[in-house]
Structure formats: structure tokens, C-alpha cells
Amino acid sequence: MIEILTLAYPWIKAAHIIFVIFWMAGLFMLPRFFVYHQEAAEGSPEATAWVEREDKLATIIMNPSMLIVWVLGLTLAYYLNLWAQPWFLVKLLFVTALSGYQGWLMAYRKKLSRGERPLSGKRLRMLNEVPGIAAAVIVILVIVRPFS
């Protein structure tokens, strides 16, 4: 198994980074879609179009990308034996938090599709900063590897 992973390592790492980019793009886009959706009149054709866009972004890009990121990331962690590295454990915490954030986004998407609008546009714009901050911390953890 290790021999196969050794040969595939650069490809696994490249695919992991590619799908992180796809996932992050979705995490940046969906809250922005929510802002535009909430600004559309409830029940209007525009609001209906936003529901369709949000569904496609979630089901075609975000959910598969997150799943692939997790599978490839855990494969890399296994291969590199990172489980005892403090920087990796903190990174894992942030990736878990981003996954939870995506879960919250999926639940909010369903509320919007039912016509519920519990958050203001301003609050949604603020929440749009979450993935950027998390991505910055994760990149620093991977590149700088503090706590080592």
C-alpha cells in the first residue's frame, strides 16, 4: 500500500490542492449568492433562479469537492504520518470547522428556498469572511508549521 502511495503521492497532493480550490470557491460564492437571493423579491422568478443556482453550486461543486478534500487529505495524513504533529491537528480543527460552516450554509440554503430569511444581508456579508480567515490560517499552518 505504501509503495502505491509513494508513486501516487504527487498526484494525490495535486488533486487535494485542486479540490481545496474548488471547495473554497464554493464557500466564498454561496454566501454571496445568499445576499443576492435575499435582495430578490420573495416568490419572484429571480428568487427562484437563485434557489436553482444555490442548489447547483452546492450539489455539483461544494459537496463533492469537500468529500474529495477529506478523502485525499486523510490519505496524505496517513501516508505522511501527521497525526502527532501539533500544526496538523490544529489544521484538522480548522478544516473540521469549515466543514461545519458548509453544513450551516446547506441548512441556510434550505431556509432560503422555503422563503425564510432569518439573517440580514449585512450579517451574510460578514459570514462571507469566515472561509478567507480559515484559509489563511490553514495555509500558514501547512507552510510555516508552527508548534513543531
Binding residues are 16, 91
Query: Using CA atoms, how far apart are residues 96 and 88, in angstroms rounded to an integer?
Result: 12
Phi, psi of 100 (to 5 degrees): -65, -40
Query: Using CA atoms, how far apart are residues 18 and 12, in angstroms rounded to an integer?
Result: 10
Bind-site residues for heme: 16, 91
Contacts of 55 (CB under 8 A, 6+ apart): 109, 113
What does the DSSP 8-state code read for residue 114?
Answer: T
Contacts of 36 (CB under 8 A, 6+ apart): 50
